[in-house]
Amino acid sequence: MERRHIVITGAGSGIGRATARRFLQAGWHVGLIGRRVEALAATAAGDAALILPCDVTDPASVEAAFARIAAEWGRLDVLFNNAGMSLPGKPIDEIAVEDWLALCNVNITGMFLTARAAFGQMRRQTPAGGRIINNGSISAHAPRPGSAPYTMSKHAVTGLTKTLALDGRPWNIACGQIDIGNAATDMAAKMAVGVPQADGSIRAEPLMDVGLVADAVLHMAQLPLEVNIPFVTIMASAMPLFGRG
């Protein structure tokens, strides 16, 4: 079977790194997008990945990365639109406006720019088509205390997913979203120590193996384009999503 091509944003750590390594193991051509070349090289760990230094908040940087993808591969089968950031939990009036804008730049503008570039490549290539998988969050369903910026951004991702799933139909472009809860990464390490709950308490929460998230993304990516998983939630079973509040 012909090797397929995926680009992963935020590939220098966490979910992006785990997913990139899973696709490399499965024999895919993998493009790694992130700001830090050293971190991307560590993700590749000697495998023949395409390292694409890129700031997803910068339109010119995104266009340059996808131009290189077109030049190197000629086509793109999947984008895992994964890059994101969070902020410490605070009431909205204590959140600095510059922090809000920085988060929106990554979680909303970055998602838009990379989806835009991938959509354009998938639309132009022959045969046309491909799949975009957006990394949403449990927060696309229910907020944590003090999470207005992050929760708002992940609801925006859901809007992007639904729109692309509709707009991609004429060119055989599918779009789905994976909403992840408490995968064991550096970003989620605080969950195991204790985080604020809706009742005001501080409690530790269970984590799940990040490799299971990578397996779920691979499953979504391997589906034929006449099939789509619009939304899937994968989470540590006992985390307090159901019952928040």
Give the Cα separation of 156 and 112 in Å (integer): 10
What pLDDT shows up at residue 189? 82
- pLDDT of the chain, 245 residues: tens digit per residue: 578 999 999 999 999 999 999 999 999 999 999 999 999 999 999 888 999 999 999 999 999 999 999 999 999 999 999 999 999 999 999 999 999 999 999 999 999 999 999 999 999 999 999 999 999 999 989 888 999 999 999 999 999 999 999 999 999 999 999 999 999 888 888 888 898 888 889 998 889 899 999 999 999 999 999 999 999 999 999 888 776 54
User: In this structure, what DSSP letter does residue 186 have?
Assistant: G
Q: Which of 124, 120, 142, 143 is nearest to 132 (CA)?
A: 120
| Tokens, residue 25 | 């193991």
Cis peptide upstream of residue 224 (ω within 30 degrees of 0) = no
Supply the pLDDT for residue 245.
Answer: 45
Q: Give residue 70's pLDDT.
A: 97
What is the model's pLDDT at position 192?
84
Which active-site residues does the annotation give?
150
Instruction: DSSP for 66-120, please give it.
Output: HHHHHHHHS---EEEE----------GGGS-HHHHHHHHIIIIIIHHHHHHHHHH
